[in-house]
């Protein structure tokens, strides 16, 4: 019996690419059309809130129109059938893991379908635009922002993530370029804790050399095959 008990999976934009959601650093990627500093920083929001709200209104609408793909469904199957610890840490702001049926999911960069009131700190599930400044359901102030972690802000769940990495026997990275920290450093934390590390990605990422094994291909092919392998052990 394989000794793997505790698995941590990190997902990035690449796992949602085949659901039609743009990644960030490809030629037609989100950061090719918008400068990060214009739409994904607290300073940008203070400078031009309508531009930032419109950028996330578009991404929220895109998420609602997208469907989970075979990779999301495979991870949901693993979540259902895996009796050990499992944590799917996603950098993605879409809810495709959850819509595929996964439960043990942590959105370290926040969620497109979340609104956060800067007046009363309440958080709400949100599917409508925010650029028309709707009132907060809790305090009625027109102070809602996307519940997204912008550059320069602290990602969510870091304590829980590093605790899971410290206990991990296996760390699997799916569809991420390894360009943004702290997520890009998780493979080292897992390896230091003695975990085996596997990368499933379309292209070699910036951190590929840090992994025990890299498999190249689309997530919709690689992830179901890997889940089959892990559950068959
Ligand atoms: N299957 C698997 N991998 C894919 C696929 C696919 N179909 N399509 C693209 N990829 C891979 C690319 O090869 C690339 O390595 O997904 C990765 C996407 O990289 P990025 O666009 O940099 O996205 P990500 O790694 O998630 O970015 C991390 O950066 O801008 C911030 O907050 C943003 O969460 C994001 C973070």
Residue 121 alpha carbon to ligand 1 centre in Å: 30
Burial grade of 78 (CB within 10 A; 0-12, 13-18, 19 or more):
buried
The pLDDT of residue 26 is 87
The pLDDT of residue 27 is 84
CA of 97: how far to CAs of 3, 39, 41, 149, in Å? 26, 25, 25, 18
| The pTM of the whole model exceeds 0.95 | yes
Protein residue with its CA nearest to atom 29 in ligand 1: 180
Low pLDDT (below 70) residues in the chain: 1-2
Of 9, 12, 108, 180, the residue with max ligand 1 atoms within 8 A of its CB, to mutate for a pocket test, comes to 12
The pLDDT of residue 1 is 47
């Amino acid at each position: 019996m394989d000794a793997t008990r505790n698995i941590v999976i990190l997902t990035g934009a690449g796992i949602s690419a085949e659901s039609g959601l743009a990644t960030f650093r490809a030629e037609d990627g989100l950061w090719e059309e918008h400068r990060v500093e214009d739409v994904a920083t607290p300073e940008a929001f203070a400078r031009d809130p309508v531009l930032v709200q419109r950028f996330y209104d578009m991404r929220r609408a895109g998420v609602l129109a997208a469907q989970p793909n075979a990779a999301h469904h495979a991870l949901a199957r693993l979540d259902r059938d895996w009796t050990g610890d499992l944590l799917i840490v996603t950098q993605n702001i879409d809810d495709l893991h959850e819509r595929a049926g996964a439960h043990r999911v942590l959105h370290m960069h926040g969620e497109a379908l979340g609104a956060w009131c800067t007046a009363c700190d309440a958080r709400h599930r949100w599917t409508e635009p925010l650029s028309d400044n709707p009132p907060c359901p809790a305090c009625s102030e027109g102070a809602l922002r996307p519940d997204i972690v912008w550059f320069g802000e602290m990602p969510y769940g870091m304590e829980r993530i590093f605790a899971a990495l410290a206990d991990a026997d296996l760390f699997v990275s799916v569809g991420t370029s390894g360009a943004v920290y702290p997520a890009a450093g998780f493979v080292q934390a897992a390896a230091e804790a003695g975990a085996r590390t596997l990368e499933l990605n379309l292209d070699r990422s910036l951190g590929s050399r840090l992994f025990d094994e890299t498999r190249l291909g689309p997530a919709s092919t690689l992830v179901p095959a890997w889940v089959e392998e892990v559950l068959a052990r």
